[in-house]
């Protein structure tokens, strides 16, 4: 992409976009090879499937994102199946579906052209398949569980932590004995791992460059980690779009709401452990801890920043199961007074309302926290400025990905000149307005000489040539 675009020649928006869609000269093997050579930590299943999807239905943002949206619909039957295996309750199953349907986190990742919707489905399917296999003790059910493990391994690297947590659950239920059930689990796990050996060898021979995950090395204090985790967990039910770039006053104002959500979560887990059988509460706890506990330990002990919303999705699923069990049990239990049933019905209504409000706000916003507003929140405003010009030219020596992101908000009339530092592009004629986007100092100085004009700052990251000589 750099070799073909950083030439200083005039480019259209389509020239930038073509790298975000399948190349007809390449095939699925090339997609897998690209991941293996450049980002082996990204397992290939989702990327292969979405490539086929786009090839079948066409190149567009809507088509690309629609695959994740369609996959996310499988979350509903899968979580209902899991609730049937775990709680033997249709009501709790429907409540869990409702919580997932209006969860701000699920709503956001159902629109992302990323593997997380598929990962959620594999986590739920493997969990339900495991409980069914343990209950029926038939070979066919263990084979189904093995298949879900393989799908999970090829969907997301962190699925391995979920599989380990499921093993801990089986071992504990079998009273820490090497029982027949636990041995069958180990055989299923081994079979799932063997199926994934090709990609394990890829990860060993082509490890991901450390620079690809530099964001995890951001040092944090214990207080910063605690507040970050509180915000991440509360997003399961409440999300007002707060990000790192927002003011401290705004974050402080949300503390009471976040504390209420955390109180509900903590009480849900406490109630689950107190009122359900070991088979039930232990499964939910291991699901919550599968990803959350290792990442919390890394963050708090090593001062890292591995804790992100997308990584703890299995933990969020466990929390939603606990809350669904709490509300479902409280409003149907014969031991609950009439006023208590009304109170918990109100709690359920408020939880649903907070989710609906959160999803509504994010749907109407151009920039939400998952789009990294600390980096890109100015892009829509920059695009509006450029689009007002009659024949605009954008010159840049910045990273091409930033230009691709910006280009999705620009009109087709915009043209680009992209060069590598410290190169200066040749003078281009026929444009009414010339902008510099995220330019280096050398590019700014060089452009002023080429056009014998001055640069004025219009907006952060955006400059414009003025007093252009004809």
The pLDDT of residue 370 is 85
The pLDDT of residue 216 is 66
Strand partners, 435: 394, 464
Query: Rounded to whole angstroms, how far apart are CA atoms 15 and 37?
Result: 24
The pLDDT of residue 90 is 95
- State pLDDT tens for residues 139-173: 999 999 999 999 999 999 999 999 999 999 999 99
φ, ψ at 21 (rounded to 5°): -135, 165
Of 449, 447, 332, 357, nearest to 395 by C-alpha is 447
pLDDT band at 197 (very low <50, low <70, confident <90, very high): very high
Whether 213 shows a pLDDT value over 70: the answer reads: no
The sheet that has 433-437: what strands, in order across it?
Answer: 10-11, 415-418, 392-396, 433-437, 462-466, 454-459
Whether 246 shows a pLDDT value over 90: the answer reads: no
Whether 217 shows a pLDDT value over 80: the answer reads: no
The pLDDT of residue 253 is 80
The pLDDT of residue 333 is 86
Query: What is the pTM for the complete model shown?
Result: 0.92
Q: Is 388 exposed, middle or buried (0-12, 13-18, 19+ CB in 10 A)?
A: exposed
% of the chain at pLDDT higher than 70: 96
- State pLDDT tens for residues 76-97: 999 999 999 999 999 999 999 9
> Which stretch, 51-60, 90-99, 303-312, has highest mean pLDDT?
90-99
Query: Rounded to whole angstroms, how far apart are CA atoms 104 and 355?
Result: 6
Strand partners, 396: 418
Report the DSSP pairing between strands 433-437 and 392-396. Answer: parallel
Angle at 276 between CA 273 and CA 280, to 5 degrees: 85
Which residue has tokens 């087709």? Answer: 412
% of the chain at pLDDT higher than 90: 76
Whether 207 shows a pLDDT value over 90: the answer reads: no
Q: What is the mean pLDDT of residues 382-399?
A: 95
- Domain boundaries of the chain, sorted by first residue: 2-20+378-466, 217-370
Query: Rounded to whole angstroms, how far apart are CA atoms 388 and 411?
Result: 9
Query: Rounded to whole angstroms, how far apart are CA atoms 282 and 264?
Result: 19
Region of 452 (left: φ > 0; alpha: ψ -120 to 50; beta: rest) is left
3-state secondary structure of 222: helix
The two tokens of residue 385 are: 């400025």
pLDDT band at 243 (very low <50, low <70, confident <90, very high): confident
The pLDDT of residue 219 is 74
- State pLDDT tens for residues 335-366: 778 999 999 999 999 999 999 999 999 999 88
Region of 19 (left: φ > 0; alpha: ψ -120 to 50; beta: rest) is alpha
The pLDDT of residue 469 is 47
The two tokens of residue 463 are: 């400059």
- State pLDDT tens for residues 248-266: 677 788 889 999 999 999 9
3-state secondary structure of 73: coil
The two tokens of residue 51 are: 């490539």
The pLDDT of residue 372 is 82
Query: Rounded to whole angstroms, how far apart are CA atoms 63 and 61?
Result: 6
Mean pLDDT of the residues in the chain:
92
Which residue has tokens 């910063």? Answer: 224
């Amino acid at each position: 992409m750099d070799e073909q675009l950083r030439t200083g020649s005039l480019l259209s928006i389509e020239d930038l976009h073509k790298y975000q869609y399948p190349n007809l000269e390449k095939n699925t093997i090339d997609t897998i090879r690209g991941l293996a050579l450049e980002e082996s930590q990204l397992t290939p299943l989702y990327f292969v499937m979405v490539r086929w999807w786009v090839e079948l239905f066409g190149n567009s943002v809507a088509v690309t994102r629609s695959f994740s949206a369609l996959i996310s619909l499988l979350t509903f039957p899968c979580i209902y199946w899991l609730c049937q295996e775990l709680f033997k309750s249709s009501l709790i199953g429907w409540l869990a579906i409702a919580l997932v349907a209006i969860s701000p986190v699920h709503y956001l990742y159902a629109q992302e052209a990323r593997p997380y919707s598929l990962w959620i489905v594999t986590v739920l399917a493997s969990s339900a398949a495991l409980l069914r296999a343990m209950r029926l003790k038939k070979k066919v059910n263990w084979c189904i569980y093995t298949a879900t493990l393989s799908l999970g391994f090829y969907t997301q690297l962190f699925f391995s932590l979920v599989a380990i947590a499921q093993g801990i659950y089986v071992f504990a239920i079998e009273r820490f004995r090497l029982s027949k059930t636990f041995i069958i689990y180990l055989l299923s796990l081994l079979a799932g791992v063997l199926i994934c050996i090709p990609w394990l060898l890829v990860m060993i021979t082509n490890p991901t460059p450390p620079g690809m995950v530099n964001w995890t090395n951001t040092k944090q204090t214990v207080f910063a980690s605690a507040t970050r985790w509180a915000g991440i967990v509360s997003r399961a039910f409440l999300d007002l779009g707060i990000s790192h770039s927002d003011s401290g006053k705004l974050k402080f104002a949300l503390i009471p709401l976040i504390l209420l959500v955390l109180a509900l979560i903590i009480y849900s887990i406490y109630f689950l452990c107190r009122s359900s059988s070991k088979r039930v509460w232990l499964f939910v706890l291991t699901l919550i801890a599968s990803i959350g506990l290792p990442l919390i330990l890394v963050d708090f002990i090593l001062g890292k920043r591995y804790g992100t919303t997308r990584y703890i999705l299995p933990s969020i699923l466990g929390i939603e199961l606990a809350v669904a069990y709490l509300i479902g049990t409280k409003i149907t239990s014969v031991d609950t007074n009439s006023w208590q049933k009304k109170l918990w019905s109100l709690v359920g209504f408020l939880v649903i309302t907070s989710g609906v409000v959160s999803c509504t706000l994010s749907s109407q916003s151009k920039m939400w926290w998952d789009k990294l507003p600390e980096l890109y929140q100015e892009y829509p405003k920059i695009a509006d400025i450029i689009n007002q010009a009659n024949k605009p030219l954008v010159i840049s020596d910045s990273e091409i990905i930033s230009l691709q992101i910006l280009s999705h908000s620009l009109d087709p009339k915009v043209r680009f000149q992209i060069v590598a530092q410290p190169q200066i592009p040749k003078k281009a004629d026929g444009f009414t307005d010339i902008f510099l986007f995220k330019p280096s100092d050398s590019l700014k100085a060089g452009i002023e000489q080429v056009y014998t004009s001055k640069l004025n700052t219009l907006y952060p990251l955006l400059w414009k040539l003025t007093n252009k000589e004809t």
